[in-house]
Structure 1
Amino acid sequence: MKINGKSIVRYAKSIYASVTIDKLEAVINELTAVNRLVCEKKHITGIFINPFFNTEDRVKALETIAGKLALADTTKRFLSMLIKSRAIKALPQIITILAALYRDGMKTANAVVATPIALNGEQVQNLKKALSHRLNKEVTIENVIDPTLIGGLIATVGNLVIDTSIKGQLRLLTESLTKE
């Protein structure tokens, strides 16, 4: 059964609304640990995706995992609900959306910054300060090296893309010349 995007967002929002913001990071970490375990151990993955196993078998497997990982009751109930509604396959997407909701609630954002060479500490701090000022949020920087960029950078924060690269400027120039 395929889970649509609206349902995934609804699941993420339901767990977000069920815990206080100060406990949400722990829930995200627990969900991530469960997801990592399920992805790394093929025999566990099989229990959750193989149609041979029924919901009761999956819930029992979850109880075993919850005991090993010492999961909080909120996390166990949420995972159990995902299993019963056949949405456990969407756990990675739910975690991604939940983490974005958490960052938004904490007034933080993660910026992925592509540059042709690694940024030094001072450059990272200056970029953090500029992005934080523009977004009115605390920003963390993830620097990704893109050797295809000649110079400048491309910063992506959620849906916002700031392209100051030479490659981007050349693309804009080409577009404006072809429109005339």
Structure 2
Amino acid sequence: MAELTTLARPYAKAAFEYARDHDSLTQWSEQLGTIAAVSMEPRIQARLTDPARAAQEQVELLAGVCGDTLDTATRNFLAILADNKRLALLPQVHHLFVQFKANFEKSVEVEVVSAFDLEQDMTSKLSAALGRKLERQVNVRTTTDSSLLGGVLIRAGDLVIDGSVRGRLKKLAAAMNS
């Protein structure tokens, strides 16, 4: 996986810089997300990896499925990827683009998993506290998992804060066993 990310990075960076310079980060993010999702569909993937298909054919296939959602610049970006036989990197390009965009906008997506539904007031307080700690604008997505027993599990990128009862019990068991 790291190899694909390494190969995708220059393309994602180029797309990000173009989008930033043309004030179209959100538009590019949406378009790359659409293309990445389409490229992962098994029938499309089979056609994109078919060595008998020309690069232009592959671009037309993707653009045709995506329809009017793609602008000229994005189609040109697809053509560059196709010419370099890098269309398989589209999911990684999109993922990296989203990371570059979040860093530029100083925002972070945070997933909060709790044993019970959180009230809006609690979610707002948690978002504000995380925003101060991470020094970023925080976009919170909440889910429930009754196996946590209580407390919350917070994921923000590679940062994980496990304040769940289940997590504390695991730590206690590990401490008692050592």
Q: Shorter-normalised TM-score: what interval?
A: 0.7 to 0.9
Query: Do 1:48 and 1:58's aligned partners in 2 also have CA atoms closer than 8 Å?
Result: yes
Paired amino acid for 1:25: T
Shift of 1:70: 4.8
Which segment drifts farther, 111-120 or 29-38?
29-38
Query: Do 1:128 and 1:141's aligned partners in 2 also have CA atoms closer than 8 Å?
Result: yes
Q: Report the 3-state secondary structure (helix = DSSP H, G, I; strand = E; otherwise coil) of the residue aligned with 1:96.
A: helix
Paired amino acid for 1:88: L
Deviations 1:21-42 (A, max 9, x none): 7311101111222233444583
1:100 corresponds in structure 2 to 99
Query: Which whole-Å CA distance do the structure 2 matches of 1:34 and 1:24 have between them?
Result: 15
2:50 corresponds in structure 1 to 50
1:171 corresponds in structure 2 to 170
Query: Which whole-Å CA distance do the structure 1 matches of 2:4 and 2:84 have between them?
Result: 13
Query: For residues 112 and 127 of structure 1, do their structure 2 counterparts lie closer, same or farther at Cα, with a shift above 3 Å needed?
Result: same
Shift of 1:60: 3.6
Where do residues 76-115 of structure 1 align in structure 2 (5 Å cutoff)? 76-115=75-114
Which blocks of at least 5 consecutive residues in structure 2 are unaligned?
none
Shift of 1:56: 3.3
- 1:18 equivalent in alignment to 2:18: yes
Shift of 1:168: 1.2
Query: Do 2:4 and 2:92's aligned partners in 1 also have CA atoms closer than 8 Å?
Result: no
Question: Cα RMSD over matched residues?
Answer: 2.4
Query: For residues 95 and 63 of structure 1, do their structure 2 counterparts lie closer, same or farther at Cα, with a shift above 3 Å needed?
Result: closer
Query: For residues 97 and 33 of structure 1, do their structure 2 counterparts lie closer, same or farther at Cα, with a shift above 3 Å needed?
Result: same
Give the TM-score normalised by the residue count of structure 2: 0.86
Paired amino acid for 1:85: N
Query: Which whole-Å CA distance do the structure 2 matches of 1:178 and 1:37 have between them?
Result: 49
Provide the aligned length of Structure 1 versus Structure 2: 176
Paired amino acid for 1:132: G
